Amino acid sequence: MNSHLQKAIPVLIDRDGGVTSITFNRPERMNTIDVSMAQSLAQIADDLVRDDLARVVLLRGAGSSFMAGGDIRMMREDPSHIDEVIQDFHKFVLALRRLPIPVLAVVHGSAAGAGFSLAIGCDFVIASESAKFTLAYPLLGTSPDGGSSFFLTKLLGHRRATELMLLNEPMTARRALDLGLINWVTPDERLEQDIERIVHSLIANAPKAVAATKHLLNHSDNVILERQLEEERRLLLDCTSTADFAEGVDAFLQKRRPQFTGR
């Protein structure tokens, strides 16, 4: 594929044997989600459901980061698209959870906001040693999306999930591992080697047994997750209509501390 054309595609898909790699491809914006990326993710969600050949899905980010959340400039300049972006992104999140095959997030650089949510919602997460994880929704004047309010509570319990969501402290990969949010941390230079080892182990399993196991682990939770995603969408949209949201975004773009007023 022409390299210029490839750069213009917001999400890349590569199928190699039984491995389907999905690469977020806005490296110049740290793979933040805009309208075009969200639409691509929604289409991929449909395609994944019909893919009978895939045995493992890998989620990756092009450039320096996995995914640094939503595109803040887009949200500030054209908030009319926020609902559409959330709905498309949530469709992708739910599709990944419903897949009968393992989904592995490969995190390097920043996994922030929606990128954090997406990573911890996968079946497995491997992170390079230099990776950083952060939520930071309240500092932008919004509530969470992408299922993080569901996944964090399930993984950590109510008290620790509340701590992470409201204190907004960035986490190293080692800290995320200690908390049980991810499965493996590996030196940056060994990341590809370790991915290959994990994928080889997953593909060696009997597909029907894997599908049955995932069904048992996720079936009842997926019903709850779908409701929680809709509640996250509703509340985030409510937050984006406030003056505090405008202040949070302006402060982020201007690299200063926000001054919230509760309006």
Check whether 5 has a pLDDT greater than 90.
no
- Dihedral pair phi/psi, residue 22, rounded to 5°: -110, 120
Q: What angle do CA 233, 239, 242 make, to 5 degrees?
A: 150
Q: What gap in Å lies between CA 100 and CA 98, rounded to an integer?
A: 6
CATH numeric code, 3-188? 3.90.226.10
| % of the chain beyond a pLDDT of 90 | 90
Nearest CA-CA partner of 130 in 104, 109, 160: 109
Q: What is the pTM for the complete model shown?
A: 0.94
**Better pLDDT: 78 or 161:** 161
Q: How far is CA 101 from the centre of its chain?
A: 18
Percent of the chain scoring above 70 in pLDDT: 97
Q: Which amino acid is at 133?
A: F
Sign of CA dihedral 167, 170, 172, 177: positive
CA torsion sign for 5, 6, 11, 15 is positive
Contacts of 13 (CB under 8 A, 6+ apart): 20, 21, 22, 23, 44, 47
